[in-house]
Amino acid sequence: MPPVAPLLSLRGLSRRFGALQVIRDLNLDVAAEAAVGILGPNGAGKSTLFNLVTGDLRPDTGSIRLAGEEVTGLPASARCLRGIGRSYQVPRPFGGMTVLENVLVGASFGAGLPPGAAVEHGVRVLERTGLIRRANQLAGSLTLLDRKRLELARALSTRPRLLLLDEIAGGLTDHEASALIDTVRAVRAEGVTLVWVEHVVHALVAVVERLVVLNFGTLVMEGPTTEVLRSRQVKEIYLGIEA
């Protein structure tokens, strides 16, 4: 049998802003149903990488393939319909709409579902993310934890095959982060492929089995979670410890 193509494949990906090279000749494969964490100091290029994958930014060079299909030239809306979903580090709900209405936007336009199916899917997503009791509440009135839950729910409403999580545990207490981790674990158990950027390392360790480390837009190291965290190089670059 021929080898199975990775769900996400990046080849020679580069992006600069003026004189600043943010992503440099990056190669990365993510297998279907994998859970991969991305570590790196501020300015390492992590959010820019997500923006390139989702189509919010275009690369200067390189290619992005989803399940073997070239998507580099596609707009963000087309990539979403093909199964790329994401959350944002700072939640971006429609504050004047209800929680359910926010999710229906994703189900209708991100997943392309007709009205009846969109409502059914939206309700299921709110149940999965612990927000069903907030369905008719305005999104702008939610607590930080529930805004983070809604950010995840909005991403899930698009029915992603590949889910990019951008610091979804940031700013939460340990107790709040634990509740969110349980939800992310359940999402992964359903077969959704995860790529998670996070500074809360214990949250990553609880879910992912592989870590990728970026520094100045370059892939420094990748491998099993425990192996990467023990690395002298990672401690010096990411944790700021002279090993």
70 within domain boundaries: yes
Tell me: do 38 and 4 sit in the same domain.
Answer: yes
Helix (DSSP H) and strand (DSSP E) numbers for the chain: 9, 10
Tell me: do 79 and 171 sit in the same domain.
Answer: yes
60 within domain boundaries: yes
CA pair distance 111, 46, nearest whole angstrom: 25
Tell me: do 214 and 234 sit in the same domain.
Answer: yes
Tell me: do 99 and 210 sit in the same domain.
Answer: no
> At which of 124, 159, 194 does a domain end?
159
pLDDT at 175: 86
pLDDT tens readout for residues 126-142: 999 999 999 999 999 99
pLDDT at 4: 64
CATH number at residue 19: 3.40.50.300
Tell me: do 149 and 173 sit in the same domain.
Answer: no
Which residue positions in the chain have pLDDT lower than 70? 1-4, 237-243
pLDDT tens readout for residues 84-128: 999 998 888 999 999 999 999 999 999 999 999 999 999 999 999
Tell me: do 57 and 172 sit in the same domain.
Answer: yes
Domain residues for the domain of 115 are 93-159
For the chain, the domain total comes to: 2
The alpha carbon of 93 is separated from its chain's Cα centroid by a whole number of angstroms, namely 16
